[in-house]
Structure 1
Amino acid sequence: AYFLLNVPVVAFRLFPLVAMLSTILALAALSRDSEIVAMRAVGVSLYRVVWPLLQAGLALSVVLLLLGELAIPRMHQEADLIKQTRIRHREANTELRTRDIWLRGAGGRIYYARRFDPEARALLHVTWFDFDPGFRITGRTDVERMVWQGDRWRLEGVVERRFRADGGVETHRAAVELRSLPEGLSAFRRVKKRPADMNWVELRRYIRRLAAEGGDVVKLRADLHAKLAQPFSAAVLTLLAIPFAIQRPRSGGTGKALALGLALGLAYWFLLQVGLSLGHGGKLPPLLAAWLGNLVFGAVGLYRLIHLPQ
């Protein structure tokens, strides 16, 4: 079942490359047999010759977009579940977030925990802020370590500050303190979610919730835009393949056409990964980072197509 579920996932990623190679092979065969020359000799426009290929590439992109929303994330998640539970013999959903946990609690309180130790049921280096209805900060509490003891927290190294309206600050310190908070351990047990396991709608909802809790969503925003950009790689690579295939000399045969397609596909994949890496690092806006490969290769393909001799 694991391999059967992975087949559509792998095929989903390879379809754009397959579309480009198919386009190159089809046009290379027509060029080799002088079919394109014959059609142009009787007045058939080159654009009319390649228009069905462009339509096919765009249609494939729409199909991939729908699959990416309706089927692929679920298959990826199911395959990962089988891998974790049946192959690696682990419990499902055991990959918890253990660093930089943000949580919006009751009454607008915002928590930040630098580390979470699931085995010790402890949070390390915790800070939370309290606010009034006007979102003015009224208090800050810093705790070195919080340990869950069934129905309440054991706080160690507590420094609590209350900010008065007149500008004064009241400070309370305690080495150890037991306290009941509205948020128990389960509120901080945040299972890591991977963008590959969510469709566009789910990922957008997850980003909004994480951003509301104060989490870092820069990387996730790039992944969100990539979910729309990547399916259209089929249309972009088809567009790119057309002028390169038509302008190839008839010598070299099928092998040369395939080598050309693979080289273009690798170049596209490389630029796609570079764009996403820059987006994840905040060096590029998430939208531009996700669409960088499509914009560059689409522009190159369109330019070469327009300047083909008619």
Structure 2
Amino acid sequence: MKIIDKYILKRYLVTFLFTLLILIPIAIAIDIAEKIDNFLEHVDLGFYQIIDEYYINFVIYYANTFMPLALFIAVILFTSKLSNNTEIIAITNAKVSFTRFLYPYFLGATLVTVVSLLMNHFVVPNSSKERKKFENTYVRNKWQANELKYVKEFSLQLTDSTYIFIRNFNTETNSGYDFTSEVYDGLKLKSKLVADNIRFKPKDSTFTLLNWKKRQIYENRDSIFSGNKIDTVFNFTPKDLIYKSALAQEMPSNELLTFIDISKKRGVKNLNAYLVEFYKRTSLPLASYILTIIAVALAFRKRRGGTGVNLALGIGIMFFYVFLMKISEVLGAVAGVNSLLYVWLPNIFFGCLAIYLYNNARK
């Protein structure tokens, strides 16, 4: 690595970290202003508990979220400064091509991408789980907190031949009512088990059925059994009853993939919200390369108006990227669409823009 590469790489990383450290306190200040009343409502909630259980995880989540934005702004800022100081003119006069000039930028983008990938797939999900647990306890109102607690009118395919239906289930108390389990041989019903109440015991992963009745269907006759209470085992847990896109953010990628695979086998119709979350964890970090090319191409040549013009143009492009990304996430979660294509759509669009700007800057 040449001296100029080390110089650019150092400026790249220092400016990136500086920009990130500016954005995070702003986010914290806005969040405190929004939630201060909720914190003060709980007299038993201490300052250090808020920092330890909430704001450390808050910083981890938003630092990772702001990485592409911070990187884009940082590259525009210090590249514009290089251009305004005529340092880039000296570099080009030394017969350094635009492609070669991008080399240290790509080294920096690789470091940011690797860190972001590791955080997205492993660190941030666990952090989000702790942060949302704190929010459910101290921040959200009762209606919001109960949103993931109650499951209504839920059906699930456990195996190729076994189906269950639950009228209502409380995932906090692990109890529900109007439970039905049906076993089929092809299209023919073989047995049906119904119960007024169902309770899950986490200690031994068994279910207790109250006021139950089972109908066993044979070739020429039926048998009916009933009782007040019976303990049995089913191939699911209360966690499997909750299909909310917010839960995907709390699962590490290996757990998320396992959950998607099991859910597909159980016949869950629309898992695109979970697929969007999984694909996004890779697409967003890899956007660092695309955004780096765009930022360098914009700031490579000296403009009238200097850094301010480049920065304004860059921020406009960045917000359009974020807007397109949010639109693609919503559309990608719709049933029946190719969620992978929608998640990568912003990168494809801006990748084409990066190629155009790259070719233009190279000339």
Normalising by structure 1, we get a TM-score of 0.78
1:108-187 to structure 2, matched below 5 A, reads 108-113=161-166, 115-116=168-169, 121-123=175-177, 128-132=181-185, 135=186, 137-139=188-190, 146-148=196-198, 151-154=208-211, 180=230, 182-183=232-233, 187=237
Secondary structure (helix, strand or coil) at the match of 1:260 reads helix
Deviation string for 1:200-228 (max 9, x for gaps)? 11110111122222223222122221122
Q: Which residue of the partner structure matches residue 35 of structure 1?
A: 87
For structure 2, the residue ranges without an aligned partner over 5 or more in a row are 1-51, 200-206
Instruction: State the AA in 1 paired with 2:189.
Output: T
Kindly indicate whether structure 1 or structure 2 has the higher relative contact order, using CA contacts under 8 Å at least 6 residues apart.
Answer: 1
**2:151, 2:241 within 8 Å by CA — same for their partners in 1?**
no
For structure 1, the residue ranges without an aligned partner over 5 or more in a row are none
Distance in structure 2 (CA, Å) of the matches to 1:171 and 1:282: 40
Task: Report the CA distance shift for 1:115/1:244 in structure 2 as closer, same or farther (over 3 A).
Answer: farther
Give the Å deviation of 1:292.
1.3
Q: 2:82 aligned with 1:25, yes or no?
A: no
Q: Which residue of the partner structure matches residue 196 of structure 1?
A: 249
Distance in structure 2 (CA, Å) of the matches to 1:120 and 1:199: 24
CA RMSD of aligned residues (A): 3.7
Instruction: State the AA in 2 paired with 1:44.
Output: V
Q: Which residue of the partner structure matches residue 296 of structure 2?
A: 242
Task: Report the CA distance shift for 1:99/1:292 in structure 2 as closer, same or farther (over 3 A).
Answer: farther
Task: Report the CA distance shift for 1:253/1:140 in structure 2 as closer, same or farther (over 3 A).
Answer: farther
Q: Which residue of the partner structure matches residue 349 of structure 2?
A: 296
Identity of aligned residues (%): 21
**2:208, 2:229 within 8 Å by CA — same for their partners in 1?**
no
Secondary structure (helix, strand or coil) at the match of 1:197 reads coil
Distance in structure 1 (CA, Å) of the matches to 2:287 and 2:159: 44
Task: Report the CA distance shift for 1:116/1:37 in structure 2 as closer, same or farther (over 3 A).
Answer: same
Distance in structure 1 (CA, Å) of the matches to 2:233 and 2:159: 8
**1:96, 1:189 within 8 Å by CA — same for their partners in 2?**
no
Which one has the bigger helix percentage? 2
Deviation string for 1:31-74 (max 9, x for gaps)? 22332233222311111112211221132111110122232211
Secondary structure (helix, strand or coil) at the match of 2:189 reads strand
Give the Å deviation of 1:23.
0.9
User: Alignment partner for residue 79 of structure 1, among 108, 125, 131?
Assistant: 131
